[in-house]
Amino acid sequence: METFQFNNDGFSFKQLKFIQEYGSNIATATAAYPEFILMKSKPMLSAYSDRLQDRTVTNLLELGIMKGGSTALFNAMATPQNHMAVDVYKHESGLDVLAEIVANEGRKLLARYDISQSDTKLIVKTFEEHFGVAAEFDVIIDDASHNYDLSLASFNGLFGRVKPGGFYAIEDWGWAHWGGAFQQSDHPEFGNTSLSTLILQCVMACTAGMAGISRVDVTPDTVFIHRNQSVLPDDFALERSFPTRGRVFTGA
């Protein structure tokens, strides 16, 4: 895989420039093709590069678009034949231009800004109608709300559609254990179940062998849940996929 060429404010990759922004600056940061705003660190880039460099990706699904940088990056890294990204809010980005360029290469890129990550039936329907193939994915990346309930709904509705050998990535899973504003009672997610609870459920389901999970790779930023050969039921629910000796698991 082509390497990242880093500079003072980001890096270049395959004729695209990625400007790395974090924190409050992201709200006002703007860019136009071939530049994209991206909220990903060097360790995150390495983690994805390690897992994508030898992988053939036909179908890729992203939950969360933000400023468009992740979508541009994953399209360049994985060169999927069919790539769909969904969100409920549209920021200006260069994805429209990128979609035209991708089409000239014989591939397809669709960004939709009117689909919630939790509406998995609409995600599946939209993908199949637009691309004309079954909604079966080599890679799914959840970088959307980071809310436990919404992320669990996404996982329950979509993990069964990850192809055997593929993976489902969940980013920023540890926010409840970060310092600063995340520990303050006025934070919007303060009273909610932590996203790390979903990761713990994946680990327990993995050892129980009941959720189609072959292994769980944990990094400080992203968790990669790998899919095995098991066929999951239509009513699959991760939270019911491991025994607890009669105890109630409430998470964090």
pLDDT tens, residue order, the chain (252 aa): 678 999 999 999 999 999 999 877 788 899 999 999 999 999 999 999 999 999 999 999 999 999 999 999 999 999 999 999 999 999 989 999 999 999 999 999 999 999 999 999 999 999 999 999 999 999 999 999 999 999 999 999 999 999 999 999 999 999 999 999 999 999 999 999 999 999 999 999 999 999 999 999 999 999 999 999 999 999 999 999 999 999 988 888
Number of continuous H segments (helices) and E segments (strands) in the chain: 6, 11
112-125 in b/e form (b: 16+ CB < 10 A) is beebbbbbbeebbe
CATH topology of domain 40-240: Rossmann fold (3.40.50)
Q: What pLDDT was estimated at residue 99? A: 98
**Phi and psi at residue 28, in whole multiples of 5°?**
-105, -5
Q: What pLDDT was estimated at residue 24? A: 75
Cis link prior to 164 (omega < 30° from 0)? no
Contact in structure between 120 and 157 (CB atoms under 8 Å): yes
Tracing tokens 């994209």 back to the chain, one arrives at 36
Q: What pLDDT was estimated at residue 1? A: 67
Burial class (CB in 10 A: 0-12, 13-18, 19+), 62: buried
Give the residue ranges of DSSP H helices in the chain: 42-52, 69-78, 95-104, 120-131, 148-158, 196-208
Of residues 109, 99, 104, the one with CA closest to residue 33? 99
Q: What pLDDT was estimated at residue 249? A: 86
- SS3 assignment, position 70: helix
